[in-house]
Amino acid sequence: MIIAPMNLSIFHGSRCRVNTLAHLWSGSLHSWTRRHITTSKLHDPKVPGIGGGNTKKWTRRPITTKTEGSINTPQTSKLSSIRHEVLDETISATSSSLSIGKTEISQFQKLQYCEVQKEESYESLANLLTIICFDIETTGFSRDSDCVIEIALQVLRGGKNSTFQTLVNPNKFVPNTKVHGITSSMVNRRDVPRMKDLIPILLQYVSSHQMPGGKVLLVAHNARTFDVPFLISEFSRCSIEVPSDWLFLDTLPLARELMKIEGSKKASQKDLMEHFQIKREGDAHRAESDVKGLTLILRRLTFDLKLSTLDLLERFIEMAGHKVAHAVLKGPSVVKELCIGSVLALAAGSLWKMHHWNEQRKVRTFYDLLEKGEIGVVVQEE
DNA sequence: GATCACTTCCGACCATACCT
DNA sequence: AGGTATGGTCGGAAGTGATC
């Protein structure tokens, strides 16, 4: 059994270890604080204002994860009683107990150690970030029974080979041709790659644009509930792990934030195209056309909302945190997929950004339980 | 101390939005 | 259409202050 105390100030952690899992948004970002955030421009020099210090309407409660044997810096904030406990099959808690099956937990057995970078290096982390917009077309909504039939990526900073697009052979009937215009005969061909053949190419493409030591931020509209889970399912079906240095960002919350200011509830990609008066290139609901539109939308969103690259990284953290927070609140069946100490801590860190007042209260309760040590957290043994 | 009115908090529920 | 997230409304419980 490993007992891993979790300090409630994740922002001051100097070093910790994190077990990674493809089913997460990637959980290796720690130690985040506005105090040390400096802005970093997105890659389009034509967009003024990005990197400007926008006024935050919210604050983040600091949290740190620590694991025994890996602590080398005295913490300035008080230690909480929160502990990560590996109990083989059960996440124990004073007031709650979350069960995990042995076979299910075995999928977490691979541990990776992650050096948490020092606070001073966050600016360089942002500078080393490659932002790539992506979009997928599928045979339907179900990530279990439907397949990706087209994927397109566009590197935000542009340059040579900045766009990648391909059809994908699903080896099945395409029932929703009327949505995207992609027919069965277009994709069920020998010269169209299958997902398992495409993924290595995809990985190669992304890494060719990745800066040494840097991370990749993959951006999609409604990524959180559609594109990313779908992509992860496809990787999973091919028994390939999503790289741990891939981070994901959803533009939908950003769009909602902006459109709310504009007095509208609509925040679909189509609405954003109209709002920003962006002219579509190619057919609607084709991946390449949509991803090009999304790239322009992202630039306009970040400009209008005054978001720097570091702000986008923060949004990723919120996204990861939110997912875990909801998972914890929903119960053990989802928790088993998401219990990674660092990300769980991030969940608490993101609570103040919860828009829905009802959920906000739930997450606050969750945070309080964490603080009191009444919720256990799994840290997988090597 | 008992009662009442008012405010605040919280959970439940529903409608809407988003992706293909 | 399926799954997920958000935002709004409603009603009950709890807290607070004024009045008798």
Q: Which range, A146-150, A263-267, A311-315, A351-355, is most confident?
A: A146-150
> Strand locations in chain A, DSSP E?
3-5, 16-18, 83-85, 90-91, 98-99, 112-114, 130-138, 148-155, 163-167, 216-220, 246-250
Task: Give the closest residue to B16 (Cα–C1′).
Answer: A265
> Rounded to the nearest 5°, which phi and psi values hold at A61?
-80, 125
Q: Is A285 a catalytic residue?
A: yes
pLDDT for res A97: 29
Kindly list the domain boundaries of chain A, sorted by start residue. Answer: 121-329, 336-370
Could you tell me the distance in Å between the CA of residue A309 and the C1' of nucleotide B6?
Answer: 47
Q: Tell me: pLDDT of A257 over 50.
A: yes
pLDDT tens digits, A94-138: 233 232 223 222 222 222 222 233 333 456 677 888 999 999 999
**How is residue A106 annotated by DSSP?**
G
Task: Give the closest residue to C5 (Cα–C1′).
Answer: A225
**Mean pLDDT score of chain A, rounded to an integer?**
63
Q: How far apart are CA A55 and CA A41, in angstroms?
A: 17
Residue A279 CB closer than 7 angstroms to strand C?
A: no
Q: How far apart are CA A137 and CA A152, in angstroms?
A: 9
**Contact predicate A342/A16, CB 8 Å:** yes
Residue A337 CB closer than 7 angstroms to strand C?
A: no
- Report the nucleotide nearest the CA of residue A322, measured to C1': C5
Active-site entry in A36, A43, A285, A326 = A285
May I ask the CATH architecture of the domain A121-329?
Answer: 2-Layer Sandwich (3.30)
pLDDT tens digits, A290-313: 999 999 999 999 999 888 888 887
Q: How far apart are CA A207 and CA A214, in angstroms?
A: 10
pLDDT tens digits, A349-363: 343 333 333 444 444
Q: Which of A57-66, A321-330, A343-352, A357-366 has the lowest mean pLDDT?
A: A57-66
